[in-house]
Amino acid sequence: MQKRKLGKSGLEVSAIGLGCMGLNYHRGPAPDRKEMIALVRAAVERGVTFFDTAEVYGPFTNEELVGEALASVKKGIVIATKFGFDLGPGGTGAPNSRPERIRQVAEDSLKRLRVEAVDLFYQHRVDPNVPIEDVAGAVKELIAQGKVRHFGLSEAGASTILRAHAVQPVTAVQSEYSLWWREPEAEVLPACDELGIGFVPFSPLGRGFLTGKMDETTTFGGNDNRTTLPRFTPEALKANQPLVHLLEDIGRKKKATPAQIALAWLLAQKPWIVPIPGTTKLHRLDENIGAAAIELTEQDLRAIAEAVSKISVLGDRYPATQAGMTGR
């Protein structure tokens, strides 16, 4: 597995990480826990060193799963987790990035992850009630205490990133980014480039859509959050197929799958971009890892850009009720 550094921080991780949310949360009925622990360990055996979780996944149970899976393989492993919601006793689940809450989350996450320090501690969503300077200051104190190693932001806008970075250098920004959601290119990626911050795309495969395994007949059961997302209505799934067809066409030339082309495209954008596709299946893990070996030439990238410019993606990323939580 190739390695990449997240910006100028010096934090080195595998070129492709593993998003762990779906191992037991938000993607339908939870898979067998032992099987998911085995999957995480299989990822380590294949060279993956970057694992992404959060206290809200479960809540708490995803961190526990990741902590158990990685307990015996600490060397060279980077675990990212997140704070930002009121999930304590009697918590409402609302955004909460008050410094005292951040400190409590850090203590609890250390125990669940079975680590001495959190490698990368993201603010999960910008809290409109807490100045970002206070958030960055709280994490700065945790870093000074040796409880956290690096500070990150998730779904933050460029101005917020700049303000936070002035207090405590930001190692990585995590946001959704893929061929069907390119908003970070407007302001966030340029800000990361200027400040020397790494960028971690979540949902790099469009929550599974860019794998080519979905159409208008696809259904989602259980607690799968895609049932609430405008891009996963039957109409949108049908209308957005041209993007998948493009990936399939390029994949045939490269002897690769649509998912691999989608990930290779992300890797080709910047050397400090590290996507974290999630999966619960070993063969998909191998498929995703294989994308790191695919080289897209400048000619390939120009052809993709030209083709994508002619495709209009149908459907918002989130329902209107959630849109205000992103991009501040």
pLDDT tens for each residue of 66-116: 999 999 998 899 999 999 999 988 889 999 999 999 999 999 999 999 999
What structural domains and CATH numbers belong to the chain? 3-322 (3.20.20.100)
- CA-nearest of 151, 86, 141, 87 to 118 is 151
Percent of the chain predicted with pLDDT > 90: 90
Instruction: Determine which one of 57, 122, 177, 318 is catalytic.
Output: 57
Quote the pLDDT of residue 244: 96
Please state the rounded mean pLDDT for residues 183-203.
Answer: 98
Using a cut of 0.85, tell me whether the model's pTM lies above it: yes
* 320 confidence band (pLDDT: 50, 70, 90): confident
Please state the rounded mean pLDDT for residues 165-181.
Answer: 97
Quote the pLDDT of residue 325: 61
57 classed as catalytic: yes
Please state the rounded mean pLDDT for residues 164-185.
Answer: 97
The answer, yes or no, to whether residue 324 has pLDDT greater than 90, is no
* 328 confidence band (pLDDT: 50, 70, 90): confident
Quote the pLDDT of residue 25: 87
Tokens of 324: 């205000």
Q: What's the mean pLDDT when you consider all of the chain?
A: 95
Tokens of 272: 């400090």
- Written as one letter, the residue type at 308 is V
The answer, yes or no, to whether residue 326 has pLDDT greater than 70, is no
The answer, yes or no, to whether residue 221 has pLDDT greater than 90, is no
* 4 confidence band (pLDDT: 50, 70, 90): very high
